[in-house]
Amino acid sequence: MPQIEVNGKTYETDEEGYLVNLADWNMDVANYIAKTENLNMTEQHWEVIDFLRKYYDEFQIAPAVRVLTKAIGKKLGPEKGNSQYLYELFPYGPGKQACKVAGLPKPTGCI
């Protein structure tokens, strides 16, 4: 099983770099994964990460991109609930990339 090392601690990931254990997640790990994804984390990025973690906590799945976009629009306003905004933050896909930073599994229904 692949591992990453952050601040002297090792964490298990899958082949694609998603954390295996949800409970392993913390800000240091998130920043580390963000760096490997070439993301410059801003307040707007963290807002989405926070949203995803809350979504997962409530529903026990990572949302499909379409569902995430709609839900963000509802919670944070229409100027953020659109794919352009989310893809600007996470160019390789808000589902895949943001979930990885948020320490969630790859979204179900991500095809």
Partner 1 sequence: MSEESIKKFMFVNRKAPYGTIYALEALEVVLITAAFDQEVSLAFLDDGIYQLKKGQQTKGIETKNFSPTYRALEGYDIEKLYVEKESLEARGLSEEDLLVDVTVLSRAEMGNLMEEQDVLLSF
Task: Please identify, among the stretches 41-49, 56-64, 82-90, 93-101, the one whose residues bind partner 1 according to the rule CB under 8 A.
Answer: 56-64
Using rule CB under 8 A, residue 111 touches partner 1:
yes
Give the span between the Cα atoms of 38 and 63, in whole angstroms.
23
* Residues 6+ positions from 78 with CB-CB distance below 8 Å: none
Residue type (1 letter), 95: G
x/- track of binding to partner 1 for residues 69-88 (CB under 8 A) = -xx-----------------
Catalytic residue among 20, 80, 110, 111: 110
Q: For residue 12, what are its two tokens?
A: 């298990």
Task: Please identify, among the stretches 4-12, 23-31, 67-75, 84-92, the one whose residues bind partner 1 according to the rule CB under 8 A.
Answer: 67-75
**Is position 110 annotated as part of the catalytic site?**
yes
Cα angle value 7/5/47 (rounded, 5°): 75
Count of all residues that appear for the chain in the document: 111
- The residues binding partner 1 (CB under 8 A) are 58-61, 63-64, 66-67, 70-71, 108-109, 111
